[in-house]
Structure 1
Amino acid sequence: MDLKTKNMTENDAIDILTWKYEKPYDVYNNVLTGDAILELLNGSYKMIVDHEDRIIGIFCIGESAKVPAGEKFHVYEEDCVDVGIGMNPDLTGKGYGYEYFAYILEEVAKKYSNDIRLSVATFNQRAIHLYEKFGFKKEKIFYKDSMEFITMVKRRDRKEEAYFEN
């Protein structure tokens, strides 16, 4: 995949908010509202497109990447760069995850040298397995309603220049 990062337009945000995932990943489905559009346009989200400008996915950095329920479990106290990712549901489960996530980590490394933290639902073993391939380790458990989440952290080796090895 030839990927590039772009800023999102309102039409892009609307398209992304109408993505529909199959069970059990349907918990990641969004509701198209004015507030949801504004969140995607708040500056913390970036869109990833291929060479034909098709939306491959999105990622966000900072507060938008955190699951708000995690705050009451104190899982975000350590100084890390929080990253959230989403892939176009038409592309999930087809072997694109490794290259896609590697690209996101490269983009994050351009701006940050901190450790990287992800929050992921524990049922999402597909994502957890991918993150572990990049050296992320399971850290803290927390709950949102009846759903269990974990944080996963990639410790930046201060001697390394990158977050992962090719």
Structure 2
Amino acid sequence: MQTAIMTKSWAEEILSWKYEPPYDFYNDHNKEESMQELLEEPYFAVLDDGGALIGFYCTGTSAQVPLGLFYGVYLEDSLDIGLGMKPELTGKGMGASFIRYILNQLKTTSSSVRLTVAAFNERAITLYERAGFRKTYMFTGEDMIFYVMAKTI
């Protein structure tokens, strides 16, 4: 795998991704605003060895769920990360190497990382727990529960 700064072409591809229920929560419904965020915030494309887009990750406030700020779940010093994998690649056993790769990219940036995940996404939660993340907070949004998970790297 390799990392590259997000381009408009990759951002367009990401915004076209469609996840099957219940993961369709992650489908993008505000493409113009999302395009701006993907290109202006710290977003990175993750490519396979042949240069094809397989996923992305972001860091900082872009990785935070805004409602979590209200609950104060991001007050502790940690690098927030967000990530997504191409829908056709999810559920195929590639998640462990994907998250391991991203964490290796961030080792020189921070000693601890934090992510926020929707509680229904048991598949991702299991992956994150296997990667060493532990639930630290829970908060509720509109019809959605979120877990904040942290890990020392």
Question: What letter corresponds to residue 136 of structure 2 in structure 1?
Answer: E
Gaps of 5+ in 2: none
Which residue is equivalent to 2:130?
A: 133
Is residue 45–residue 53 contact of structure 2 (8 Å, CA) maintained in 1? yes
* Structure with greater strand percent: 2
TM-score for both structures, normalised by structure 2: 0.96
TM-score for both structures, normalised by structure 1: 0.89
Query: Which of 87, 104, 107 is the equivalent residue of 1:106?
Result: 104
Which residue is equivalent to 2:17?
A: 19
4+ runs deviating over 4 angstroms: none
Is residue 14–residue 32 contact of structure 1 (8 Å, CA) maintained in 2? no
Instruction: After superposing the two structures, state which structure 1 stretch, 31-40 or 69-78, moved more.
Output: 31-40
Q: Secondary structure at the match of 2:29?
A: coil
Query: Which of 17, 37, 40 is the equivalent residue of 2:38?
Result: 40
Matched ranges for 1:35-114 at <5 A = 35-113=33-111
Q: Secondary structure at the match of 2:93?
A: coil
Q: CA RMSD in A?
A: 1.0
Mapped partners of 1:7, 1:93: distance in 2: 26
* Structure with greater helix percent: 2
Percent of residue pairs identical: 44
Is residue 41–residue 62 contact of structure 2 (8 Å, CA) maintained in 1? no
Matching of residue 146 in structure 1 with residue 143 in structure 2? yes
Greater C-alpha radius of gyration: 1
Alpha-carbon distance, 1:31 to partner: 2.5
Question: What letter corresponds to residue 46 of structure 1 in structure 2?
Answer: F
Question: What letter corresponds to residue 68 of structure 2 in structure 1?
Answer: G
Q: Secondary structure at the match of 1:111?
A: coil
Q: Secondary structure at the match of 1:48?
A: strand
Gaps of 5+ in 1: 157-162
Mapped partners of 2:41, 2:70: distance in 1: 25
